[in-house]
Structure 1
Amino acid sequence: MPQTHAAVSHAENPDVIVIGEALVDVVTTSKGTIEHPGGSPANVAYGLGRLEVSTALLTSIGDDERGAAIERHLSTAGVALLPGSRTQGRTASATATLAADGSAHYDFDIAWDLKPVTPAYLPKVLHTGSIASFLAPGAAVVKGLLEQAHRECLVTYDPNIRPALLGSHAEALAIFEELVPLTDVVKLSDEDAQWLYPGQQPKEAAARILGLGAGLAVITLGSEGSLLATPATQLHVPSVRTTVADTIGAGDSYMAALIYGLLCRSTDGLAPSVLETLGRTASKAAAITVSRPGANPPTVEELTAEFAAQLPVVERVPTAASVPTAVASPELLSAPPGS
């Protein structure tokens, strides 16, 4: 039997545990090349730390200088690495080439092999996603942790699709749809949704995710805002206008702020007013992030500054007939995590 590691000690119980890859983004522009700590789950953990949410990351980074740089970067936001996260070998990297509009194309050098772990306790929120949820052999460990956490704590999931690493569409879709029933909140970009469900509108993709058992499906729509859907309600939240420096980390900042909002909500479950606040908070976080280079998410002070004055009016979308109203939101979404 493989040796296991306790995910965290009882003396250091964070509110959120994030599971997934941490790597180095090598960003190439017309002005040259620069390295930033990255990886979608690591970015989410860092974003949560910047929002002053107690957070720890379970990952796999090398014993090289890049790995040390990632650990130092996370520590500046108060994010701790859980035992087993530093391994022998080199740290993964993603080479990002920026287009004129600030969008990024990635080429990856990654091997995802997460050590088996036995959680010492479950946090209020367990988040995972991206490469870590698809790429063997580590993906099997991630799935096992979701199976342990399911219905014991709030589980959030962002697949952050990277087609170049996923093999066939059919295989990737099967993995995604096996994980969704183990989660409470699923967030996708419109590009993720279109890749997973070609030809379907965002509200149709959201309906599919809800039908698989998630209690909240969120699809970000770039400059068009985001769609938040439960079995009973669909809301469209416009984006917050800003000047785009680049889009690196925008979706991860949105995800971090979404988790932050879930932790901060009252006892209203996922009532429309709660969805509005969640979407508006996350949209502002994404706008702040894209306004400056790299995955540089907002602090809690930036996110809450002049909040009411800077946020858009929310447009309510009639619930589509295809949304399965018979599916009940998971019990964990009926009250704040840890309540």
Structure 2
Amino acid sequence: MTADVLVIGEALIDIVASGSGPREFVGGSPANVAVGLARLGVPTRLLTRIGRDARGARIAEHVASAGVRLDKASWTDAATATAQARIAPDGTATYEFDVDWQVQRPVLDEVALVHAGSIGLFLEPGADAVLDTLEHAAHGGQLVTVDPNIRPALIGERGAAVRRFRRAVAAADLVRLSDEDAAWLYPDQQPEEALADIAARGPRLVVLTRGGRSTLALGVNGIVEAPVWPSDVADTIGAGDACMSSLIASALEDPLLFTSEPAAERALRRAAVAAGITVSRVGANPPTRDEVDAAM
């Protein structure tokens, strides 16, 4: 595959409490998406913000080992961001963040698709550059994908965050959000209503993941539903990111994704498998293409 993806957003260290003491994992939704894409065989570049410290070096090594190219503009003299993760008995995670997000709009030469989301889409001052990049890519005919991955504690005033979200999805071809994202963005609407509102703003496919329940997607042929892939849950860190990586790969590989119901169903099944494999492992550890193919 010759297509090249640019992922823009935070990379950080997840500090996960455990019985034997805290453990540190490379995380950050956009970084996880970039690693997931590379493991699926998609040439990927990551523009993020990491410090010239031990944690930053660990992130750089981690993404490089997956095959991700780290944009040189990602390095900073500030400390590398962290997220304190607390794992509930059912495997779900909550976070406390220490993030400083600044980035400049990158060059988009030889990029077929631009993905952004999470903290990097909302936290100023870098968020404005991210939104400008998405709109520039859309105007240039490149595919755009968005995953809001809402973090209420970091994204500021709700009205401003909703406006940023709407601006981002207006530039997007594909949007994935979780049921928690939908509940925060659309507190008084049913999931199908939230999907319809997002789709009306421009995206050709909107995907709603619902944890242990089925995944819904709204495209030109209406609502498509796909079951979850059963697995024993170690934790849910990175599940949505693995799903997003798989959907991006499908968008690049299958030109029928946005027009064909069977193609959308195939993409949702693959995304469910990628997420299912990820939750069976500790930390954000997305599968390779061979692992997904073997499980299909």
TM-score under structure 2 length normalisation: 0.96
Q: Could you tell me how far apart the structure 1 residues matched to 2:257 and 2:57 are?
A: 42
Q: 1:162 aligns with which of 126, 151, 154?
A: 151
- The answer to whether structure 1 residue 229 and structure 2 residue 218 are counterparts is yes
The one-letter amino acid paired with 1:276 is E
Q: Could you tell me how far apart the structure 2 residues matched to 1:268 and 1:98 are?
A: 35
Residue 27 of structure 2 corresponds to 38
**Where do 1:39-188 residues align within 5 Å?**
39-114=28-103, 116-151=104-139, 152-188=141-177
**What is the Cα deviation at residue 231 of structure 1?**
3.7
Corresponding pairs, count: 294
Q: Could you tell me how far apart the structure 2 residues matched to 1:40 and 1:277 are?
A: 24
Q: Could you tell me how far apart the structure 2 residues matched to 1:146 and 1:266 are?
A: 21
Residue 220 of structure 1 corresponds to 209
Q: Could you tell me how far apart the structure 1 residues matched to 2:69 and 2:290 are?
A: 22
- The answer to whether structure 1 residue 263 and structure 2 residue 252 are counterparts is yes
Cα deviations across residues 197-231 of structure 1 (Å, max 9, x unaligned)?
A: 00311111000001111111100011112111114
Unaligned runs of 5+ in 2: none
**What is the Cα deviation at residue 148 of structure 1?**
1.1
Q: Could you tell me how far apart the structure 2 residues matched to 1:179 and 1:106 are?
A: 24
Q: Could you tell me how far apart the structure 2 residues matched to 1:259 and 1:242 are?
A: 23
| CA separation of 1:197 and 1:301: change in aligned 2, threshold 3 A | same
Secondary structure of 2:51's partner? Answer: coil
**What is the Cα deviation at residue 238 of structure 1?**
0.8
The one-letter amino acid paired with 1:288 is I
Q: Could you tell me how far apart the structure 2 residues matched to 1:213 and 1:268 are?
A: 16
- The answer to whether structure 1 residue 21 and structure 2 residue 21 are counterparts is no
Q: Could you tell me how far apart the structure 2 residues matched to 1:300 and 1:169 are?
A: 38
Contact 1:17 1:55 in 2 (8 A): yes
**What is the Cα deviation at residue 168 of structure 1?**
2.3
CA RMSD between the two structures: 1.3
Residue 302 of structure 1 corresponds to 291
Cα deviations across residues 126-183 of structure 1 (Å, max 9, x unaligned)?
A: 1000000100000011011112101411100000000111222222111111211111
Q: Which has the larger radius of gyration?
A: 1
Identity, % of aligned pairs?
Answer: 48
**What is the Cα deviation at residue 79 of structure 1?**
0.3
The one-letter amino acid paired with 1:72 is E
The farther-off stretch of 176-185 and 244-253 is: 176-185
Q: Could you tell me how far apart the structure 2 residues matched to 1:268 and 1:101 are?
A: 33
- The answer to whether structure 1 residue 204 and structure 2 residue 193 are counterparts is yes
**What is the Cα deviation at residue 266 of structure 1?**
4.4
Q: Could you tell me how far apart the structure 2 residues matched to 1:89 and 1:48 are?
A: 27
Q: Could you tell me how far apart the structure 2 residues matched to 1:306 and 1:158 are?
A: 25
The farther-off stretch of 56-65 and 226-235 is: 226-235
